[in-house]
Amino acid sequence: NAGVTQTPKFQVLKTGQSMTLQCAQDMNHNSMYWYRQDPGMGLRLIYYSASEGTTDKGEVPNGYNVSRLNKREFSLRLESAAPSQTSVYFCASSDRQGPGNTIYFGEGSWLTVV
Amino acid sequence: GNSVTQMEGPVTLSEEAFLTINCTYTATGYPSLFWYVQYPGEGLQLLLKATKADDKGSNKGFEATYRKETTSFHLEKGSVQVSDSAVYFCALSDDYKLSFGAGTTVTVRA
């Protein structure tokens, strides 16, 4: 009963390095999301993919890129990491569009940029 | 745009105390409202939701009623346990994206 799986769970990067966070869901959901969580700010949407083949910017897309590889997988890439990107990153998915749909979250990836 | 404002924490309670976390929202249209809970070191889990005015969501002893007239969705539990210690997030959705409040940290002491 995996749900949403994201890797790695922990990562330390040096400023300027690049990395990709991987996410996969096994619930056959159409929509997938990447959020970041910072103290006192709740979760903020970075990018989302309403369906396979589409991606759109959220509230805080600068410094990130995404790829919806297939229906199951949605990756987040930091091309040149900055200390401001130190955060906890959550991947999520939902089965349909429209209000009322439940979004399911992965366990999070703790990223530190030094 | 959409926004959610929830009571700032942290909140510290004794076991069996009554818990209320206030949440108000601003949205166009008719959003759905959610409470998510995050236990230490874990991701977010849906606690309850309500999709239209006057709906009451409930789960694990928690309740929240969608009040359109006051644009509120306050979370309540009558008797908290140590295991309820977590961060609680209020959120709204009027399409397929969620907008979150800042989160309220709740600590319940035995």
Q: Report residue B107's pLDDT band, with 50, 70 and 90 as the boundaries.
A: very high
pLDDT for A1: 60
Chain B residue with minimum CA distance to A95: B96
Spatial separation of the C-alpha atoms in residues B50 and A95, rounded to whole Å: 17
pLDDT for B96: 67
A33 interaction partners in chain B (CB closer than 8 Å): 97
DSSP-based three-state secondary structure for A71: coil
pLDDT for A98: 62
Per-residue pLDDT of A25-62, as tens digits, reads 999 999 999 999 998 788 999 999 988 999 999 999 99
**Encoding tokens for residue B24?**
């108000």
User: Residue B110: pLDDT above 80?
Assistant: yes
A57 touches chain B (CB under 8 A): no
Q: Report residue A7's pLDDT band, with 50, 70 and 90 as the boundaries.
A: very high
pLDDT for A111: 97
pLDDT for A48: 93
CB-CB under 8 Å, A100 with B49? yes
User: Residue B69: pLDDT above 90?
Assistant: yes
Surface of A (75-104) touching B: CB under 8 A: 90, 94, 96-104
For residue B110, count other CB atoms closer than 10 A to its CB: 6
CB-CB under 8 Å, A108 with B96? no
- Tell me the mean pLDDT in the region B70-89: 96
pLDDT for B98: 83
B100 interaction partners in chain A (CB closer than 8 Å): 42-44
DSSP-based three-state secondary structure for A12: strand
Chain A residue with minimum CA distance to B30: A99
**Encoding tokens for residue B70?**
């006051």
Query: Closest Cα of chain B to A98: distance in Å?
Result: 4
B9 to each of A82, B44, B107, how far by Cα in Å? 29, 18, 10
CB-CB under 8 Å, B94 with A102? no
Per-residue pLDDT of A67-104, as tens digits, reads 999 999 999 999 999 999 999 999 999 887 666 678 89
